Amino acid sequence: MPGDPFTSDGAGGSLSGPDRLLARLCTGSAVAAGAVVLGVSLVVAVSVVSRSLGFGSVRGDFELVELGCGVSAFLFLPLCQLKRGHIVVDLFTNWLPKRAVGRLEAFWEIVFAIAWAVIVWRLAFGLHDIRGYGDYSMMLGIPLWLTYLPAMFGAGLSALVALRHASALWSGHGAAREMVE
């Protein structure tokens, strides 16, 4: 990925092994999220057509949409973190030297990593509780704790990516936003 702060030389060179793995995991996570969205879309389409033809809707279609939206949202987040696609307001930092901007961005990446870690931690508690309750969806009987697993994966991977970005930005290998495609 030329221009990514994960580059080994900071100037768009090739990715190191661990960085390449992180990038592939983020891409794979987004592909899985896309597959979930596609699957949910197909269920909704079949449900609407089936209902229009008088056969009734697909049983539990709304449950699948709810669960699919939650799962896909968390699975898209690592790629957003990798591409540094979050909103950046640089109104007060344009005058700073690139190294200072890089350090400031590294600080915020660490804040992101901490936030993601807290989310994973709380999701783990939620998973434990909901699994203990034996909670299932009403129509399809899907164990609800299963949806926590991809959410924890997405948030955890986002935390790792944020830490890697912080490291690259702090060392000056990705000191400005123009380093990201």
Q: Which two tokens stand for residue 62?
A: 């709304």
Dihedral, CA of residue 9, residue 15, residue 21 and residue 22, to nearest 10: 50
Integer Cα distance of 75 and 83 in angstroms: 14
Residues 130/148, Cβ–Cβ less than 8 Å: yes
Residue with tokens 């299932």, as numbered in its chain: 136
Residues 109/162, Cβ–Cβ less than 8 Å: yes
Question: What is the model's pLDDT at position 8?
Answer: 44
- Give me the chain's average pLDDT, please: 86
Contacts 24+ apart (CB under 8 A), 118-123: 119/155, 120/152, 120/155, 120/156, 120/159, 123/148, 123/151, 123/152, 123/155
* pLDDT tens column, 68-114: 999 999 999 999 999 988 877 777 777 888 888 888 889 999 999 99
Would the pTM count as exceeding 0.85?
Answer: no
**pLDDT higher than threshold 70 for residue 40:** yes
Question: What is the model's pLDDT at position 101?
Answer: 85
Give 143's strand partners. 136
* pLDDT tens column, 123-143: 999 999 999 999 999 999 999
The mean per-residue pLDDT over the stretch 170-180 comes to: 54
Instruction: List % helix, strand, coil for the chain (3-state, nearest 5).
Output: 70, 0, 30
Q: Taking the domains of the chain in order of start, what are their residue ranges?
A: 17-179
Percent of the chain exceeding pLDDT 70 equals 87
